[in-house]
Amino acid sequence: MDFDLTPDEERFRDEVRAFNAEHLPSVAERRKLGPGFLVQWWRLIRERRWVGFQWPKDCGGSGGSIMEQYVLKQEMLAAEAPALGRDYTGLGWVGPAIIQFGNDEQKKRYLPDILDSESAWCTGYSEPNIGSDLAGLQCRAVCDGDDYVVNGQKVWISLAHVGTGIYTMVRTKPDAPKHEGISCLLIDLKSPGIEVRPIESFPGDHFAHLYNEVSFRNVRVPAANRVGEDGQGWDIICSALQNERSGIAEVNRHHKALDRLIKLARNARIGGKPALGNGNLRRKLASFDARIEAARLNGLRNLTQQVHHQNRDSDASINKLHNCNLLVEMSETGMELLGGGSPYVGDTEASVYRGKWQIGALGWPTTVIGGGTANIQKNIIAERMLGLPKD
């Protein structure tokens, strides 16, 4: 691995830092400015083509390199900047799928709204009774003239209640092998026959309405809204999930969380004694630090492989598994420290942390299941990387 940036990459890093110094207020100031700041922020970074930064220029992006995108994200994370665009799903999966598998008309129709933060896509993969076996999905789409007629149900669909469209996988070839009978449709969530129902989650009000069930009853979708060929959905699924599991951006978040965890520990008590005097806790904090560094180095290894076009799809499963375990375990440690009985702990910024200790500890299903369960990641690592038999 080469840890040094080229002169051009160094100049780009300086450009990002100068931009943040000029246009990015402190977190406290941003809270005072309210939603208007986000609208202004998205406009400014869109003008610089930093939204969809690595997308090709003819698709509205900057055509940036992998390393420049890494630099951009690292600098934005270090500055605690807002997201690089509003439509997280559109930028992460829908747009890349259209760029890779879609046609020119779809690019003209959908990509500008994603880049301009005008759309809000959600992803329709999971279904009742199929668990993590996406290839077993049963939501049907039957061709009827120039339309598909969709019937079925999707579940655990994040933010569908505020979405503009759902990027979903449906079965169009029921007699084909299960991996070959899936197609990708882009469906307007205002289409007649769609019902969105909330799923309340136990972490409380913060997650009270993140997830939804989405039902399709004779929903007509133009065949022009199919991305790729009929039956090409599995290839699109695999491409999208690699984006979701890459995980390198999580390292900066882990470092910030560990800093807050250490500050929390300085003011907490275990068994009536200062928490940092507890050997088990010190070893746990040291372990977190070592594991974060391992995640950073593994991410850089994968980044190096991408730069040289040598990356393996299954490598992303290591990052996903490692990062989700770290987040949950650090959050649980934060909750243990908050339960130490010290009234001072509850008044510190590190303890409040905008409720993230509680969210991370109680909301573990989101972290562990999203993008593929831990057991699925272990199977991928075992079979595709270690060469172990399936049985």
What does the pLDDT look like over 212-231, one tens digit per residue?
Answer: 999 999 999 999 999 999 99
The stretch 306-324 carries a mean pLDDT of: 72
Decide if pLDDT at 370 tops 70. no
Per-residue model confidence (pLDDT) at position 235: 92
Which residues, other chains included, contact 181 with Cβ-Cβ below 8 Å and sequence gap of 6+? 171, 172, 173, 174, 175, 231
Name, in order, each residue with C-beta under 8 angstroms of 253's C-beta and a sequence gap of 6 or more: 77
Give mean pLDDT, residues 99-121.
97
Angle at which helices 66-78 and 250-266 cross, to 10° = 20
Two structure tokens written together for 382: 């075992």
Q: Which CATH architecture has domain 246-385?
A: Up-down Bundle (1.20)
Give the pLDDT score at 364.
65
Question: Is the pLDDT at 354 greater than 90, yes or no?
Answer: no
Q: Which residue has the higher pLDDT, 4 or 152?
A: 152
pLDDT of residue 108: 97
Flag the least confident range among 59-63, 68-72, 118-122.
68-72
Cβ atoms of residues 111 and 59 within 8 Å: yes
Q: From CA 124, how far away is CA 138, in angstroms rounded?
A: 12
pLDDT at 343: 44
216 beta partners: 152, 194
Sign of CA dihedral 146, 236, 160, 42: negative
pLDDT, mean of residues 353-378? 71
Alpha-carbon distances of 13 from 41, 62, 222, 255, rounded to whole Å: 19, 15, 44, 20
Between 303 and 337, the higher pLDDT residue: 337
Q: Is the per-residue pLDDT at 340 higher than 70? A: no
d(CA 299, CA 67): 12
Distance of CA 93 to the CA centre of its chain: 9
3 state SS of 167:
strand
Q: Specify the higher pLDDT residue, 355 or 314.
A: 355
DSSP designation for 130: -
Would you state the structure tokens that stand for residue 210, as one six-digit string?
A: 């993140």
At residue 182, φ and ψ (nearest 5 deg) are -105, 140
The pLDDT of residue 366 is: 65
Domain boundaries, the chain: 7-85, 121-231, 246-385
- Assign 249 a pLDDT band (cuts: 50, 70, 90): low
Query: Taking 50 as the threshold, does the pLDDT of residue 139 lie above it?
Result: yes
Task: Note the pLDDT of residue 245.
Answer: 44
Q: Which amino acid is at 289?
A: D
Distance CA 351, CA 22 (A): 31
CATH number of 121-231: 2.40.110.10
Taking the CA atoms of the chain, what radius of gyration do you get in angstroms? 22
Q: Is the pLDDT of residue 271 over 70?
A: yes
Share of the chain above pLDDT 90, in %: 52
- Kind and range of the H or E run holding 323: helix 315-338
Q: Considering the chain, what is the average pLDDT of its residues?
A: 86
Q: Is the pLDDT of residue 207 over 90?
A: no
Average pLDDT score over residue span 352-365: 71
Given this model, what pLDDT does residue 110 score? Answer: 98
